[in-house]
Amino acid sequence: MYRTVVVALVAVAVGVGPASAVAGERAKAKEGPSSAFTLGVVQKELRPGLSQADVAERLGAPNILTRDVEGREAWVYDKVSSEIEASSGNVGVAGAGAGVGGTFAGILGISANKRSDKAKSSQRTLTVVVRFSAAGTVESFTWHDSRF
């Protein structure tokens, strides 16, 4: 009976795994392209001559909007992301003896345990400044990318 239950559980796991992976891929396809704001996205999507509406559609709304004395706008996108990498581990060694003929012959046990926890965090900033002409088209754009 135990063997039948194990075989049934394995069959269910094998059948559910691929089905859930296909469902996940379909959900990603419906979402469309990634909305992550990265330097690669900026370099791919921006070019001189784009209208302000095109920039807003491709990069979203800016964090800061400024206007110079001549009325030309500059849009500032300032994005900060944090990454935290944590790891922990245990190392242990143990052993046990066996019983003979229904009586307990003996136990041999060796035990050692060491735990280590580590965490590392970093932050990344990406600042993009898009300058528009008086006609409202991209004149130039600059960026600063840093990690600390």
Across 110-121, average pLDDT: 71
Question: Please, are residues 98 and 105 in contact by the beta-carbon 8 Å criterion?
Answer: yes
Among 34-48, 63-77, 89-103, 104-118, the range scoring the smallest mean pLDDT is 89-103
- pLDDT score of 95: 54
More confident: 46 or 101: 46
Predicted confidence (pLDDT) at residue 32 exceeds the cutoff of 60: no
pTM of the model: 0.55
| Average of per-residue pLDDT values in the chain | 75
Predicted confidence (pLDDT) at residue 142 exceeds the cutoff of 60: yes
Residue 58: pLDDT band with limits 50, 70, 90: very high
Predicted confidence (pLDDT) at residue 17 exceeds the cutoff of 50: no
Predicted confidence (pLDDT) at residue 31 exceeds the cutoff of 50: no
